[in-house]
Structure 1
Amino acid sequence: MTRSAKKAFYSSIKIDVLIPAIEKDLGTLPYVIDSIRKQVKHPIGRIMVVSPPSKRIQALCRRKNCTFINEKRVLPITKEDIHYQTKRTNRSGWLLQQLLKLAGGNLTRKRYYLVIDADTILIRPHVFLVNGKTVFYCRNWSRPEYFRTYRKLLGTKPTASRSFVAHYMLFDKWKLSRLKRTIEARQKTRWYWAIIKKTNKQSYAGFSEFETYGNFVKAHYPGHLVIRSSLNKSFSSNPAALTRKGIFRLAQKYRSLSFHKRSWYIRKKGVRK
């Protein structure tokens, strides 16, 4: 393998990792952590699991050599401050997790930190920085409400032709700080209050942290990003049922697997929503 080919599969830039989680993620979280250590081709500093107080998640962090962080340390607001209730369900916790991801730069001294959802397992090698550019893994569809909220916050239309909502993303703290300052200058309030205020509470999914940051980077740093297809596949089964042979076969076509429907874990463990 040539030197340039090796660079495509490895980066010497050290990053931290942030995973927001709650107890119903315990069925997938161990696999997520293992996949990060295997498939992220950067030197990894800390893997931080941000969660409400939970003895079970703390025990998992000790077992997996991760750092447990109480979510109350990350932001000066809690789920009770958000009041995001649709006709069918309360989405306050869902929106809080996105705000925690955007606030993750306060938890690390490194310039870059990777955020990944607690239900998404990487099955192929990933590099997130190539020749000084951030690699964004994208898909072909999104929700119109994400773009409406982006325009409310920033006053401009998003210009990306693909969606940045791919369940994981590398954040550059310098660019993220500029995004927050831009929101605050326009909205005359702290960035998290602005997002809460501008998110349509009648919509099931009214805001996307990944869509917002990705489109901001594309608009203000057009030469600083590389776009690749996310190649993600959704599953509703238990990740423990996957064999090495099965993962190898899936990796021929996909980069990651997401286990969105975790009713199997809720039924098995009796975890309450």
Structure 2
Amino acid sequence: MSAITGLTTSGPAIDVLIPAIEKDLATLPYVIDSLRRYVRHPISHIYIVSPNSSRIRNLCARKGCIFVNETTVLPFTKKDIHYSSSRWNRSGWLYQQLLKMNGDQICRENFFLVIDADTVLIGPHRFRSGGKSIFYCRSWSQPEYFRTYRKLLGVAAPSPKSFVTHYMLFERAKLAGLKRKIEARHGVSWHAAILRSIDRKKQFGFSEFETYANYVYSRDSTSVLLKKANNKSLSTSAAALGTARLQKLARTYRSLSFHHRKGYSIPAKR
């Protein structure tokens, strides 16, 4: 039983990976606490991948997390990605997706959960059951995600649902297999292939969650279970939610997203 909540924890131990920037500090402590409260697996380590920041390092020390300088994860940095127009700049947004795609080089458990730094769990979550991975889904996505998937893998994504729901369990071996397949098909590194395959005139050119989950689903649809994400986006702050409101929301939703982050997705300067 979990010492914090009394929830049963079972199944494989998992690691957790959270890309973050300083603007996430208002929400990030709640994200970490919610993982320890509501994830029904033993959590071995929580890795916070971030630019070098004393404030985030201090939070990691307080919360028992492992700080990872994002510049050590990939052979390039956010400054090397040029994905923008006169109206928008998605370079940082794309960079953090590529950081997640290299999570198998950071985490040590066979399974690791990636969660966005603005999404707080408000109900119990299990990510493995009966030897199958559980993917939380929604009903809509971006067409560009699937165009890029076809370019990367040469086949259409099965896309039974949208897997872009702010958190996902990755299996290290399957993620590594996906990247090897991309490299074998394109003859370059997996990240170079992704950067080449995106239509840079479109601002939603790639999804790490959509790509990985569709790859796993296409290999063996019986190896996964699909559940509704029931995520709610809020414009308020996590700190402003009272207990009564939270309990009411938890009757309908599994998680809440507080979309205030701009550092990874900022408008172009005029």
Give the TM-score normalised by structure 2: 0.92
> Is 2:210 the counterpart of 1:211?
yes
Distance 2:29 2:108 in 1: 25
Distance 1:46 1:39 in 2: 15
Aligned residue type for 2:114: V
Aligned residue type for 1:196: L
Please report how far the alpha carbon of residue 161 of structure 1 lies from its aligned counterpart in structure 2 after TM superposition. 2.1
Aligned residue type for 1:57: I
Distance 1:151 1:9 in 2: 40
Q: 1:262 to 1:96 in 2, by over 3 A?
A: closer
Partner of 1:252: 251
Distance 1:12 1:212 in 2: 25
Contact 1:235 1:260 in 2 (8 A): yes
Aligned residue type for 1:107: I
Aligned residue type for 1:109: R
Q: 1:162 to 1:9 in 2, by over 3 A?
A: farther
Structure 1 residues 168-212: Cα deviation after superposition (integer angstroms, max 9, x where no partner): 000001111111111111111000111111112111211000000
> Is 2:163 the counterpart of 1:173?
no
| Number of matched pairs | 256
**What does residue range 219-230 of structure 1 map to in structure 2 within 5 Å?**
219-230=218-229
Please report how far the alpha carbon of residue 262 of structure 1 lies from its aligned counterpart in structure 2 after TM superposition. 4.9
Q: Tell me, what secondary structure is at the counterpart of 2:117?
A: coil
Aligned residue type for 1:46: H
Distance 1:28 1:86 in 2: 29
Contact 2:9 2:42 in 1 (8 A): no
Structure 1 residues 66-120: Cα deviation after superposition (integer angstroms, max 9, x where no partner): 1110011111111122111122222111101001101011112211000000000
Aligned residue type for 1:140: S
Q: Tell me, what secondary structure is at the counterpart of 1:124?
A: coil
Partner of 2:17: 18
Contact 2:17 2:107 in 1 (8 A): no
**What does residue range 35-46 of structure 1 map to in structure 2 within 5 Å?**
35-46=34-45
Partner of 2:4: none
Contact 2:13 2:41 in 1 (8 A): yes
Distance 2:226 2:52 in 1: 37
Partner of 1:48: 47
Q: Gaps spanning 5+ residues in structure 2: where?
A: 1-6, 263-270
CA RMSD after TM alignment = 1.3
Contact 2:47 2:66 in 1 (8 A): yes
**What does residue range 47-196 of structure 1 map to in structure 2 within 5 Å?**
47-196=46-195
Structure 1 residues 43-79: Cα deviation after superposition (integer angstroms, max 9, x where no partner): 0011000001111111111111111100111111111
Contact 1:9 1:127 in 2 (8 A): no
Distance 2:231 2:90 in 1: 24
Contact 1:9 1:125 in 2 (8 A): no
Please report how far the alpha carbon of residue 9 of structure 1 lies from its aligned counterpart in structure 2 after TM superposition. 6.1
